[in-house]
Structure formats: C-alpha cells, structure tokens
Amino acid sequence: MNKIVKVSENELQELVSVAVNSLKAGNIIAVPTDTIYGVAGLVQNSEAVDRLYSVKNRDYNKPVAISVADISDVYRWGQVTVPQALLARLLPGPVTVVLNRTTDLNPELNPKTSLVGIRIPDHEFIREVARSCQEPLALTSANISSAQSTLRVEEFENLWPKLDKIFDDGMLGDTFHSRQGSTVVDLSKKGVYKIIRDGSSLKNTVQVLSSYGLTDDNTS
C-alpha cells in the first residue's frame, strides 16, 4: 500500500489494520481528526513519543495530548472530576480535557507535568485505530511547531519523509475557524474549569460546563 492512503477509497477496517500495524512497529503516521490533521504515535512506546517530537521539531517541554476511542478510556488515563454525563456532552468532539494523569500512563510522556490532555475526536477512523491498538495515541498537529495547522495533507508535505503512512481524508475545513483545533479546557480541579486554548468549540464548551455548575477558574 502506498504511503499516502485515501480514507474514502478504502474499507475502514483495512485502513485501521494498516494504521495499527504501522503504529505497533513504532512509526509515526498522519491522521485526520474532527478539526485538523494530526500526527500520532503510540503513547506507551517511549521511542515513538521521542520520534513524534522529532518529526515536529517540537520543544520537549511542550506536552502533547493523547487520543482515545471512548469515554470509558478517559477514566483509565485521567482522574475525572466531572460527571460522566458532562463528558458525554463534550466528547466525542473538538475538545481536549486536561486532567490529572493516572499511573497507567507512560511516565516518559510529558514527564514535567502531572496533567494530561485527552481527546476523543469525532472521526470514526482515528477512534477505531485507538480502539484496535488498545492504548491511546500521542496526538499533535501535523505541522512543524509554531507553523500554521493543516486542513489538507499537501499542507504538511515537508513532514512526509518522516512519516510512515499518511491517511488522507481530503479537505477537513475551509475557514480560519477550522484551523483553530480543539478547545482545551483544564478540568483537573473539582468544580472549576480553566480555558487553556479557545479552539473551535469555545462557546459550546463553556455553555456545557456552566450548565453543570462549574465556574471559570480564570476569573478567580
């Protein structure tokens, strides 16, 4: 199979198998999400995590998020402080929830923080990949650090030589709003939230959190 794989032109399970085999071999792949394109490796493979940072030329002091398949997975990797019904209003979707990490998570991932950002993109392919791997994906945007986020695979062509597979799902959006990525919210403290990045779903996220009685920690 070619390095660039068209998501729409292949059977989902065949694509998932290709992605899983690549990830389990320690490789980095490019994947579509519900916002922008990302690059991913297996969280529990420390060499893959190092490779992910190298691909992006990313500062090792900057943490990366993890991507999981289902809300039940959030509880394995993060210490949840909010009702499950609240999580279900936000996830799957363009939101990253930041929680205190559990001891199950690879200690070499983001070693300088006790927190971890957790994503469940509303995109069937990446969720099936995480589900089949039976562990999270370390996920970050498909671009050199500080460069513009990408909505088409051609926009990160400079990364192609460093990637084992590129899963192309066409244009993911067509506006600046589309490029903002997920809204990142810190839910590590009970009863409060802190917006870390506005992202593409700020209004809805704040509405959901407020409806469950959480207050904005940014104003305290």
What CA–CA distances, in Å, run from 191 to 106, 119, 216? 27, 21, 9
Region 98-121 average pLDDT: 97
4-219 carries CATH number 2.60.40.1180: no
The pLDDT, as a whole number, for residue 103 is 97
74-91 tens-digit pLDDT? 999 999 999 999 999 999
Task: With cut-offs at 50, 70 and 90, classify the pLDDT of residue 36.
Answer: very high
Answer yes or no: is pLDDT of 116 > 80.
yes
The pLDDT, as a whole number, for residue 66 is 99
The pLDDT, as a whole number, for residue 202 is 96
pTM over 0.85: yes
The pLDDT, as a whole number, for residue 10 is 76
What CA–CA distances, in Å, run from 20 to 13, 125, 212? 10, 11, 37
Domain-wise residue ranges, the chain: 4-219
